Amino acid sequence: MAAEAGTKTSGVDAGGQGGRHEPLTGIVTTDLAAITRGRFVPARRLERLATTGVGWLQADLSLTPFNTIVHPNPWGSTGDLRLVPDLAARFRTASTGTATPFDLVCGDLVELDGTPWCCCPRTMLRQALADLEAETGLTLVAAFEHEFGLAGPNLPPAHAFAFAALRRTDPFAPMLMAALEEAGVDPDVVIAEYGADQFEITHKPCGGLAAADRAVAIREITREVARGFGWLASFAPKPAPDGVGNGVHIHFSLVDAEGRPATYDAGQPGGLSAAAGAFCAGVLAHLPAITAFTASSVPSYLRLKPHTWSASYTSLAERDREATLRICPVTTIGGRDPAGQYNIEFRAADATANPYLALAAVVRAGLEGLRRRAPSPPLIVGDPEEMSEDERQALGLVRLPTSLDAALDALEADPVVTGWFAPVFLECFAGVKRGEIEHLKGRHPADLCALYGGLF
Ligand code: GLU
Ligand code: MG
């Protein structure tokens, strides 16, 4: 479908380009800057490439969001990898409104002999989920909830959550849902959110690896549909220093070896099962250190502030949107069973974080809590920011890092968390993030938001 001249413009105007099209599939990996990069191959060759993949290189993992390979980095100019597509993670739809179908397949980075590469974020998540299952018999079910802003011409102002806020974009939302549905993302809802020109898109819960794949597909498909309208869809953590933040809320629950929900226990405070409580305790204990993986850019920390409904303390609470771990609501209307609905939401993430790495960090931290059979954390009632330091201490509440710099320091200071990764990975990660900080030194927060608004 070519964009109709005069009514809308697409990112690439295919109008009049009437030649034959060779359908292309993008084999992709998502890097430490949370940019999804890859190579396009003719779709008809994809099956043949499923064993050996396409070429990739180590130094690509040291790319910053500003398209520079950071120096120093552990790789230099040498080395080669293969990016092998996972055919189970293919997202294809002809409904994004562009000239040719959207076709993306997530891949794993391996050495030339097929050995998993120790720095592949997707592999790290797969291994974290496998370790969780092997050691505890539990599997993780997850869903990524994305907030984003739309910017561009012909968007009149609208009220928060208003019927008209979504309708003024018509047919953006129905097209987005159709494209996600066709791609196999299994979307749940699209809503007009609280912020100016802010929206939210969710998908139905699925296995942890598939959820992170869906996060990648949702971002790319949303951007592509928006481009067709001449708009920019931005998932950056803050549209402006005082604007409403765009969070990525990661919902998770545990399932036991028999496939039964294992997060809920009606007899426990907040309905939190002992296993889920131990998992949450592990996440909170390592939260300062894993924030670098979940809120992974300089402007992420403009979002993680008290009284913004994001996350700012190591807190678990029932149905409180200021908590980093929120026990989500369940309904018993019509006799519905809470157990299958019950889930926890991790709110300290945004779209400048690699979704595989963010979830892997949460899973590894949760597994630490399960290993030491940690007692469930207290359910926080009230506003941590308004409590005295003594009250916070008694409840174990610690402020999350307030800058990327501080988050990297917290990471380096937690030997349990650094122990999860290959030293070369940590070196690469710190290089990319410290390089980002250096690049942005002295920038005004408003400039930062404007810059990231265009990049993410
Ligand atoms: N926009 C908020 C954030 O930055 C979340 C609001 C909500 O609970 O949906 O995370
Ligand atoms: Mg929301």
The two tokens of residue 10 are 């697409």
Question: How far apart, in whole angstroms, are the C-alpha atoms of residue 217 and residue 184?
Answer: 9
Q: Which of 292, 173, 310 is nearest to 237 (CA)?
A: 310
Residues with Cβ within 5 Å of ion ligand 2?
A: 200
| Ligand 1 nearest atom to the CA of residue 246, by list position | 4
Instruction: Provide mean pLDDT across the span 384-400.
Output: 96
Question: Where does the pLDDT of residue 17 fall: very low under 50, low under 70, confident under 90, or very high at 90 and above?
Answer: low
Q: Where are the domains of the chain?
A: 124-419
Quote the tokens at residue 70.
Answer: 């950071």
For ligand 1, atom 7, name the residue with the nearest CA. 309
In tens, the pLDDT along 74-109 reads: 999 999 999 999 999 999 999 999 999 999 999 999
What is the best residue among 234, 249, 294, 307 to mutate for testing ligand 1's pocket, by most ligand atoms within 8 Å of CB?
Answer: 249
Homologous superfamily of 124-419: Glutamine synthetase/guanido kinase, catalytic domain (3.30.590.10)
The token pair that represents 101 in the structure block: 């179908």
Question: What is the share, in percent, of the chain residues with pLDDT greater than 70?
Answer: 96
- Per-residue pLDDT at 3 exceeds 60: no
Ligand nearest to the CA of 190: 2
pLDDT digits (tens, 9 = 90+) for 216-266: 999 999 999 999 999 999 999 999 999 999 999 999 999 999 999 999 999
Query: What number does the ligand 1 atom closest to the CA of 245 have?
Result: 4
Instruction: Give kind and range of the element (H or E) at residue 395.
Output: helix 389-395
- DSSP state, residue 114: S
Q: Which atom of ligand 1 is nearest to the CA of 249?
A: 10
Nearest bound ligand to CA 300? 1
Ligand 1, closest atom to CA 200?
A: 9
27-55 confidence digits (pLDDT tens): 999 999 999 999 999 999 999 999 999 99
The ligand with the least distance to the CA atom of 192 is 2
Q: Which ligand is nearest to the CA of 347?
A: 1
Percentage with pLDDT > 90 across the chain: 94
Which residues form the pocket of ligand 1, taking CB atoms under 6 Å from any ligand atom? 147, 244-245, 247, 303, 309-310, 321, 347
pLDDT band of 404, cuts 50, 70, 90:
very high
Tell me which residue of 184, 243, 244 sits closest to 216, measured CA to CA.
184
Q: What is the amino acid identity at position 113? A: D
Torsion (CA) 413, 419, 420, 426 in degrees, nearest 10: 60
| Protein residue closest via CA to atom 6 of ligand 1 | 309
Q: What is the pLDDT of residue 15?
A: 53
Task: Say yes or no to pLDDT of 139 above 50.
Answer: yes
Q: Are 105 and 328 in contact (CB under 8 A)?
A: no
- DSSP H helices in 229-294: 274-285, 287-294
pLDDT confidence of 183, banded at 50, 70, 90? very high
337 token code pair: 């069973």
* Ligand 1 atom showing the smallest separation from residue 247 Cα: 10
pLDDT computed for residue 6 by the predictor: 34
Residue 9 has pLDDT above 70, yes or no: no
Contact call for residues 233 and 149 (beta carbons, < 8 A): yes
